[in-house]
Chain A
């Protein structure tokens, strides 16, 4: 394929040009089909190993006992909620600056997955908090900022679907995503900036992780496995959305042909 066949704007930066190669739906579908299969397989393998390791093979905590096993699902959900939102903000920048059509679709398909992951983070945190703290919920800075993050995800998912003109919905959603990114450092540092019932960071500390490797390794394996699954789901949804857009265009073209033939 020659450079002329690219749909990139001629004056775009090299990075943007390579990204615009995938604005071609056919090229994106062919390239992502190969990645998709490997992503499903890797997610099943890594997550299967991580969950068995965390649930059955890792030791109980000296203080929390068996309840520490909730961490192997709760912490990956929290990381994905924040990491996924950062990806949403990057896609929003690409959408607003380069008008990349795939970035719009990616963001639209990402937000329901991000909302679910954040809801799971809140639910598993609540299920962990009840036996450990004696309460399902407290309005401390960490829990409240994650609840705000959940509403931002939901807001983005609703807003991008609220307009008949999908491009307009994508633009408004992108602005919301970029405004909401300010909440990510608040979630991350809330446990340092305010006095919270939620514990401070124990894995992503700058000096050293505050947990034993017997617990840390299965946690990292689960986090990697859930990240692969998250990526596989978002990619499959984006591929489906690209195909659905093509289907709509083909159906519209067919209807116009039939209308012209009938006139």
Chain B
């Protein structure tokens, strides 16, 4: 295995890991925001 493989694998793992975290956080956030707006339309007002 060349050194390029180890470098590429390291970056791919980190980007995949953080990519999954970002996507999961964005999905949860959007879904909760939508549901909360349905259940409590006045909730966002100060």
Nearest-neighbor residue (CB-CB) of B46 within chain A: A30
What string of 1s and 0s marks CB contacts (under 8 Å) between B23-46 and chain A? 001101101110110011001101
**A128 CB contacts on chain B under 8 angstroms:** 6, 10
Question: Which of A119, A127, A247 makes the CB contact (< 8 A) with B10?
Answer: A127
Taking the closest CB of chain A, its distance from the CB of B4, in whole angstroms, is 7
Nearest-neighbor residue (CB-CB) of B25 within chain A: A236
> A229: CB under 8 A from chain B?
yes
**CB pair A113 B43 closer than 8 Å:** no
**A62-108: which have CB < 8 Å to B?**
65-67, 69-70, 73-74, 77
- B contacts with A, residue count (CB < 8 A): 28
**CB pair A116 B17 closer than 8 Å:** yes
**CB pair A66 B17 closer than 8 Å:** no
Nearest-neighbor residue (CB-CB) of A51 within chain B: B11
**CB pair B6 A130 closer than 8 Å:** yes
Taking the closest CB of chain A, its distance from the CB of B45, in whole angstroms, is 8
**If the complex has contacts A131-B6, A236-B25, are A243 and B32 also in contact, measured as CB distance less than 8 A?**
yes
**A66 CB contacts on chain B under 8 angstroms:** 3-4, 7
| Interface pairs (9), CB distance under 8 Å | A30-B46, A66-B3, A127-B10, A127-B13, A130-B6, A236-B26, A239-B32, A240-B31, A251-B39
